[in-house]
A and B are shown apart, each in its own frame.
Chain A
Amino acid sequence: MDDTKFEWYETENTERFLPVRARWTGDGIETEEYPGPTVAPSRSATDIAACFPVDAPRIARECGASEEYRVAVLKARIDAVMQKRGCGAVKTYFNSCASVGFQWSAWMRSSVAREGDERRLSGRTPYAEADHGTEVDALEALATFLGVTS
């Protein structure tokens, strides 16, 4: 990865959309929120994940990266590996009705689903889910479960 070039990844949750940017310094990942709302992210999640090493989520955690950035890296890593298995994108949601400690869910199906296809696909394709107290913890659990991070 070019250590002078910012790579982009966008992330979102149920409350807000948050573009972040990061770069590989050789010792770790530097990250910051993009200050302007007008410039669209230029790279796909797969591209970003391909730039980062396999253990990018662990490095991000050890570097004390923001939770939003760790979410972005985990999503990118999961999508990059699972797309090779023919799967769709990982998704997260917050369920305020769930038990405390399990309100964040990270999940994905094995098929690429368009908007509106979820109900049709729900009974046909493999489904995986991890529930935790935070979005990043749920994503980490799912990533480990799916074998995309070590």
Chain B
Amino acid sequence: MTPVGPPGDDWRCVFLDGPSPHNVWVRWRDNAVEDTNYNGHGDFYEPIANAPLELVRRFGRNAWNVARSAEAAEWYCAGVLRACIVGRCTGTASATVTTHHDPSAPPFRVWTVAVQCGGEGEPAATAYGVTELGVLETIARFLGATR
């Protein structure tokens, strides 16, 4: 993808993993998070390396609360939460956040979110719940990634 027009320094990219992984661009405007994965004219921008970390540093650990209070879409709030978790857990090693949906599981645990810090033997955390977003929020609080 070739960027059409620079996104500007105030835009950052969040990678959304899952069945259809994609990038979404976000920025801070008028005390809220504004997002887009295209510029309104059908033009996508290239992602920025380590963008989630930059996002967390720029927006702070309450980015999730801001997004939720701004009634952002569920998939976008999930992206911000993932960025918050990755940002919190990368102090000593790289972190990965994976989500898994198992419709055959009991209703209260159809969604699983796992956070891995580093490789084998490194700390890991898991959480279960009814919705992907709910589980992400729960584990983010557990890990101190939001407040």
Contact = CB atoms under 8 A, between A and B. Distances in A.
Given A124-B109, A130-B123, A132-B121, A147 B141 contact: no
Q: How large is the interface on A (under 10, 10 to 19, 20 to 34, 35 or more residues)?
A: 20 to 34
A129 B121 contact: no
Contact of B142 (A85, A101, A132): A85
Given A123-B108, A123-B128, A128 B121 contact: no
Contacts, number: 63
Interface size class of B (residues with CB under 8 A): 20 to 34
A146 interface: yes
B114 to A, nearest CB: 10
Contacts of B109: 123-124
B104 to A, nearest CB: 14
B48 interface: no
B127 interface: yes
A144 B108 contact: no
A146 B122 CA distance: 12
B19 interface: no
B138 interface: yes
Interface in B111-138: 117, 121-128, 138
Interface stretch (B8-16, B25-33, B71-79, B88-96): B88-96
A59 interface: no
A142 B124 CA distance: 9
Contacts of B138: 110, 126
